[in-house]
A and B are shown apart, each in its own frame.
Chain A
């Protein structure tokens, strides 16, 4: 009895020490994950003259100025990039969701004879591909070069997402399909009227996965779009953040101010491009996690 009690106390002290250090470590980790964003937030609202003279960590904005944000919103390239991304996103999502659910539905039907061979055809593409150059030549041959469809059609279906949606459809009881069939409904009607309405969580996961990919993608645009008017937001960002091309950003002001403003414009640009994601992220996080979980069931 006494020995048992003694042991309990002993482990709980060990556990307390562990919990303390674990909490400390987690707090440190969160600082490492968040501070880069906080720095960008503070820098974007800072007076550009003060910012350029400052060195080291920022714990608050230096002064307060919205000049960099005004410059961002007055910039035509950024605004057209925003517009293009939204247009592309809308078209792509319609295509992504409809094609993926068609494929997922058909391949989830167990009595369908071509189920296995077509799954094999699709799964193989996850492990082997022709590569960049044949892809590029194909886009040119199809006449998609320098059109916004080069960013939309080639990524219409992701094999991974299709398998994920199929797994979720497979978990719907067969009786639902059979009773609808007995009522004379065909597969299109079943998919549209029964399966999609009860699968809204997985549809949400699809919209998020495809949506974030499209929002963040830049490489296709980089190799397929010569026309700046078609550039999506990320490619415009690349020009500003990576290629350091701010020439057309700053209009008035003398050279020193110009250099200073250019620095803070960078931060404001990051904010403007990232805010939509940060904004929807907290409320949608559970859907993302759910998506990874469904995928994990099948490995």
Chain B
């Protein structure tokens, strides 16, 4: 006992301090430190400086005094935002778009991957993949340009509606039409590309499992339920966690390109509101407040869902 104890004391005393070890590491890996200077500088300047700058949410920002010098106002902007007419509308629209996007956009690539996986003819399989990946590479501007054209009053979609005897619809003036157009085109853009990750997970499933199931007389549907889905379940869960962390994020870009003031009631989301308040009306502090509210909620959601998944499924991001 005595000897052991003194040994332990000795090793503690011998273990060099963090700083000494760092110095030694620097001597050994000097070039790695040089390599990381521009990289770390980049992340500090372009990611961590804005996190420091977000304090203007608690200030009245003016260019004259800068981030540090502008006067503190506490939670005034938060209170203003929560009490405003916009708060509920933005929350509702953001959630409506993103939940619908989740409900339609998340299972679709899984389903398609399962179907592609069943194609036995390899060259047909490759063609299907190439064609369905394609929309992912088309620029958002072009996608939205095509949407505006096809769904315009004299556009292709209305032509078809009229040929079937229907009344033409003013898609971009009817607020209720915004969600289907937004979500539908998102699915169109991302459906094929989203299958890649599942298809690669599918190749990892042991073919003997299918062989055994066939021996037991399990049909295709049972094989999918009992072998295929469990085989890609961890991929599905990880992607689902990542997706949930973004449940209150509806990117401003596509909405900005598609909406107009007549349909703000249904189409205006948190990010587009931040854009208008901040960059069009120069109301920097107020806009930063709304943005910060959004980031914090997203981050909390991500952590919560990740912890739930860790607890119940042993899948986790970190």
Q: Contact residues of A with B, CB < 8 Å?
A: 7, 11, 14-15, 18-19, 22-23, 25-26, 29-30, 32-34, 36-37, 39-40, 55-57, 99, 102-103, 105-107, 109, 111-114, 118, 121-122, 125, 127-138, 141-142, 153-154, 156-157, 159, 162, 186-188, 191, 212, 215-216, 218-219, 223, 234, 237-238, 240-242, 266, 270, 273-274, 277-278, 281-282, 285, 288-289, 292-293, 296, 299
When the two chains form the complex, which single residue of A138, A156, A234, A292 contacts B139, counting CB atoms closer than 8 Å? A234
Contact B142 A274 (CB under 8 A): yes
CB distance from B7 to the nearest CB of A (A): 26
Chain B 276-317 interface residues, beta-carbon cutoff 8 Å to A: 278-279, 284, 287-288, 291-292, 294-295, 298-299, 302, 317
| Bound CA–CA A156/B44 (angstroms) | 13
Summarize A's interface: helix, strand, loop or mixed.
Answer: helix
B169-196: contact bitstring with A at CB < 8 Å (1 yes, 0 no)? 0000000000000000000100011001
When the two chains form the complex, which single residue of B127, B150, B200 contacts A293, counting CB atoms closer than 8 Å? B200
Cβ–Cβ < 8 Å partners of B201 in chain A: 296
CB distance from B302 to the nearest CB of A (A): 6
Query: Whose C-beta in chain A lies nearest to the C-beta of B36?
Result: A106
Closest 5 CB pairs of A and B: A130-B50, A241-B145, A131-B291, A134-B53, A134-B50
Chain B 7-29 interface residues, beta-carbon cutoff 8 Å to A: 21-22, 25, 28-29
A-B contact pairs, 9 of them (CB 8 A): A34-B131, A57-B160, A106-B36, A121-B40, A130-B53, A237-B141, A242-B257, A273-B142, A299-B317
| Bound CA–CA A234/B302 (angstroms) | 33
Contact A18 B291 (CB under 8 A): no
Cβ of B72 within 8 Å of any chain A Cβ, yes or no, is no
| Bound CA–CA A153/B292 (angstroms) | 24
CB distance from A121 to the nearest CB of B (A): 6
CB distance from A238 to the nearest CB of B (A): 5
Contact A281 B137 (CB under 8 A): yes
Contact A103 B35 (CB under 8 A): yes
Chain B 44-87 interface residues, beta-carbon cutoff 8 Å to A: 45-54, 56, 61, 66-67
Q: Knowing A33-B132, A218-B139, A237-B145 touch, does A99 contact B42 (C-beta < 8 A)?
A: yes
CB distance from A18 to the nearest CB of B (A): 6
Query: Whose C-beta in chain B lies nearest to the C-beta of A222?
Result: B256
Contact A102 B39 (CB under 8 A): yes
When the two chains form the complex, which single residue of B54, B133, B162 contacts A131, counting CB atoms closer than 8 Å? B54
Contact A285 B133 (CB under 8 A): yes
Query: Whose C-beta in chain B lies nearest to the C-beta of A101?
Result: B35
| Bound CA–CA A212/B36 (angstroms) | 26
CB distance from A235 to the nearest CB of B (A): 8
| Bound CA–CA A107/B292 (angstroms) | 30
B118-160: contact bitstring with A at CB < 8 Å (1 yes, 0 no)? 1110001001101111110111111011101110001010011
Q: Knowing A157-B42, A273-B142 touch, does A266 contact B149 (C-beta < 8 A)?
A: yes
| Bound CA–CA A128/B291 (angstroms) | 11
Cβ of B274 within 8 Å of any chain A Cβ, yes or no, is yes
Contact B32 A106 (CB under 8 A): yes
Cβ–Cβ < 8 Å partners of B128 in chain A: 26, 29-30
| Bound CA–CA A14/B222 (angstroms) | 13
Q: Knowing A15-B220, A22-B118, A242-B144 touch, does A134 contact B29 (C-beta < 8 A)?
A: no
When the two chains form the complex, which single residue of B46, B67, B138, B192 contacts A274, counting CB atoms closer than 8 Å? B138
Cβ–Cβ < 8 Å partners of B188 in chain A: 32-33
Cβ of B219 within 8 Å of any chain A Cβ, yes or no, is yes
Cβ of B252 within 8 Å of any chain A Cβ, yes or no, is yes
Contact A114 B36 (CB under 8 A): yes
CB distance from B162 to the nearest CB of A (A): 8
Cβ–Cβ < 8 Å partners of B139 in chain A: 215-216, 218, 234, 237, 273-274, 277
Query: Whose C-beta in chain A lies nearest to the C-beta of B39?
Result: A103
Contact A129 B159 (CB under 8 A): no
Cβ of B261 within 8 Å of any chain A Cβ, yes or no, is no
Query: Whose C-beta in chain A lies nearest to the C-beta of B316?
Result: A299
Contact A292 B196 (CB under 8 A): yes
Q: Knowing A102-B35, A106-B39 touch, does A216 contact B145 (C-beta < 8 A)?
A: no
Q: Knowing A29-B132, A270-B145, A273-B139 touch, does A132 contact B42 (C-beta < 8 A)?
A: no
